[in-house]
Amino acid sequence: MSKYLDTILQLLAQVARRNEEAIGRAAAVVASVIEQDGLVYVFGSGHSQLLAAELHMRAGGLVPIQAIWDPGFGRAERVEGYALSLLEDYEFRPGEAMIVISNSGRNPAPVEVALRAKELGLTVIAVTAVEYSLGQPSRHRSGRRLCEVADIVLDTMGVPGDALVPLPGGGAAGPASTVVGAALLNAVVVAAAEELQRRGQVPPLLQSVNLDGTSNEAVLQRYRGRLRRVL
């Protein structure tokens, strides 16, 4: 097996044990938001935006998840106030949820999105590398990191710099945050769908349009006018 695959599989096993309780708590929040006909928002800047895309209108995923797209793709994540401007076009409701993704958790963009979401009465779920984040100074004027703001933290257990595999000639390669973050987020999606079923609800799941005979019309109609496609 390749060195990267072997290492990432070991990390995923550790992450699963570390986050068992947090996944359950996050799933319960997501299920409650959907049960109350709310939306779950997800924000990531830079490469963390890939994980926001992973949850948005994804076959096998939950429909009422709205990605907040950063057109700058992280180039302004250190500029205070920038991420707040991205929130202005959305109508958040108290009791909904905001998932904020940032491996380092130290830049202004994810911190200010999390703080603003809490001010508006949303539950904040963070996806971040806790130990790595706490070992770095915050770049937000509050001095706080994402893991210190969020209500629930999903810990990717990432290493500083995100490169997972040391190279024989020096340096390291193989970022882990996208693989681990996607696994954690999809674990929450599956657990939330199971929780909705336990509550007697039909999970609003999106089926792949590449399967003949598939129709998502009913579930999409439920959220028409409230969700905006970003992909």
| Chunked mean pLDDT (size 10), the chain, 231 residues | 93 98 98 98 95 96 96 92 94 98 96 98 98 96 97 97 95 97 98 98 95 92 90 68
Using alpha carbons only, how large is the chain's radius of gyration in Å? 18
CA–CA–CA angle 57, 62, 67 (5° rounding): 50
User: For 167-219, how does the pLDDT look when each residue is reduced to its tens digit (9 = 90+)?
Assistant: 999 999 999 999 999 999 999 999 999 999 999 999 999 999 999 988 999 99
Distances 171 to 1, 80, 163, 164, 167 between C-alpha atoms, Å: 21, 32, 9, 10, 6
Output the pLDDT for position 229. Answer: 83
Q: Give the DSSP H or E segment for 44.
A: strand 40-44
CATH topology of domain 3-223: Rossmann fold (3.40.50)
Instruction: Say if pTM beats, i.e. exceeds, 0.75.
Output: yes
